[in-house]
Amino acid sequence: MGLTESILLISYGIKTVTNKAKENVEENSNFFRRSLNKIRTKCKERRERVEEYKARRLQAKKQTIYKYNITQSEMIDEFVKTPIPKNNYTQAPTYNAPVILELKIKDSDLMPAISDKTYVNNSFGERINPITLSCSTKGRNLIKVSEGCVLETYKCPAGITTIGYGHTKGVEAGDKITKETAEKYLDEDIQEVETFIRNSVTVPLTQNEFDALVSFGFNVGCGKLNDSTLLRKLNSGDYQGAAAEFSRWNKINKNGTFVVSQGLTNRREREKELFLS
């Protein structure tokens, strides 16, 4: 084989290898290009699903419609200004400014257990999902008036060591507290009852109904309220039947015997009046 033939053969071999390498590179490029396009497509589909989900949630929120002829803050301000009568607890405070509310729920995730219903308020406010409610100043004042405030330990009519506004947790004989501590204990005890009611009541409540239940639960305890016929009737939608149950809880245990307490009788009447007002 001559020199020329050898050079031609080598050149052909190099060209063949080069072409093969180019084909491999092009094939790999096409593979990565296809893979990248698949990833882009999946990302686009995911973004579209996220946007669709956001749109559905927004639409669900828009289906909750409130219509007032006065603002919520005006209603609350006027409501808080109404004092609890000191001498006549059967006289319910009046609120003359009518509030027209139309509440329509279509998304059970937004308002669990009471969706797909329409409720119209009474003169003190609309019935709404209790998870949105907190004890008002009026309800707090009812508890404070009913409990009284003692800054050193004492025995309540049921014989339980108590301090402040009916606070019993962790109280030991001989304890003394300040007025500020009594208010702090009151806040903590009310918050505990509020949380229980929000988790246990499955029907809508007015502010007055919620406040009455907080006062009741504050007094008898969340455990007894949970087992009560009052809660069972309320969750069945029997508001009148639930109101009638307040009066039954007017007895205290003295030496193993349940006796009627005039103080509890008066308190139950105040709570019942508030619940029905």
Give the tens place of pLDDT for each residue, 222-246.
999 999 999 999 999 999 999 999 9
Q: What is the reported pLDDT for 104?
A: 37
**Domain for residue 221, yes or no?**
yes
**Domain for residue 6, yes or no?**
no
**Domain for residue 16, yes or no?**
no
Q: Which residue has the higher pLDDT, 217 or 157?
A: 217
**Domain for residue 112, yes or no?**
yes
Closest C-alpha among 133, 68, 67, 63 to residue 105: 63
When mean pLDDT is compared over 8-17, 81-90, 137-146, the highest value belongs to 137-146
Q: Kindly write down the DSSP assignment for every residue of 231-247, as one continuous string.
A: HHHHHTT-HHHHHHHGG
Tens of pLDDT, residue by residue over 152-188, are 999 887 788 999 999 999 898 889 999 999 999 999 9
> Tokens 């007894």 appear where?
224
**Domain for residue 189, yes or no?**
yes
Q: Cα dihedral sign for 154, 156, 160, 165?
A: negative
Q: Residue 119 is part of a domain; what is its CATH number?
A: 1.10.530.40
Tens of pLDDT, residue by residue over 111-135, are 333 333 333 333 446 899 999 899 9
Q: Which two tokens stand for residue 196?
A: 């229980």
Is the pLDDT at 263 greater than 50, yes or no?
Answer: yes
First to last CA, the chain: 117
Residues 161 and 155: beta-carbon distance below 8 Å: yes
Q: What is the reported pLDDT for 77?
A: 41
Is the pLDDT at 100 greater than 70, yes or no?
Answer: no
d(CA 163, CA 201): 29
Burial profile 81-117: b = 16 or more Cβ within 10 angstroms, e = fewer? eeebeeeebeebeebeeebebebebebeeebeebbee
Is the pLDDT at 53 greater than 80, yes or no?
Answer: no
Does the annotation count 222 as an active-site position? no
Q: What is the mean pLDDT of residues 267-276?
A: 94
Q: Which of 149, 156, 192, 222 is catalytic?
A: 156
Q: Which residue has the higher pLDDT, 247 or 108?
A: 247
Question: Please, how many CA atoms are within 13 Å of residue 75, restricted to the half-sphere of its CB?
Answer: 18
Q: Which residue has the higher pLDDT, 196 or 252?
A: 196
Give me Rg for the CA atoms of the chain: 35
% of residues, the chain, pLDDT over 70: 68
Average pLDDT of the chain, as a whole number: 75
Q: What is the reported pLDDT for 25?
A: 67
Does the annotation count 126 as an active-site position? no
Confidence band of 9 (pLDDT split at 50, 70, 90): low
Confidence band of 50 (pLDDT split at 50, 70, 90): confident
Q: What is the mean pLDDT of residues 61-70?
A: 41
Of 49-58, 126-135, 244-253, 268-277, the one with minimum mean pLDDT is 49-58
Question: Please, how many CA atoms are within 13 Å of residue 12, restricted to the half-sphere of its CB?
Answer: 6
d(CA 189, CA 146): 15
**Domain for residue 33, yes or no?**
no
**Domain for residue 12, yes or no?**
no
Q: What is the reported pLDDT for 26?
A: 73
Q: What is the mean pLDDT of residues 48-58?
A: 75
Q: What is the reported pLDDT for 4?
A: 66
Q: How many domains does the chain have?
A: 1
Q: What is the reported pLDDT for 45?
A: 82
Query: Which range marks the domain in which residue 138 is found?
Result: 72-276
**3-state class (DSSP) for residue 167:** strand
Q: Which of 126, 135, 147, 209 is catalytic?
A: 147
Confidence band of 42 (pLDDT split at 50, 70, 90): confident
Residues 89 and 266: beta-carbon distance below 8 Å: yes
Burial profile 213-248: b = 16 or more Cβ within 10 angstroms, e = fewer? bbbbbbbbebeebeebebbebbeeeebeebbebbee
**Domain for residue 227, yes or no?**
yes
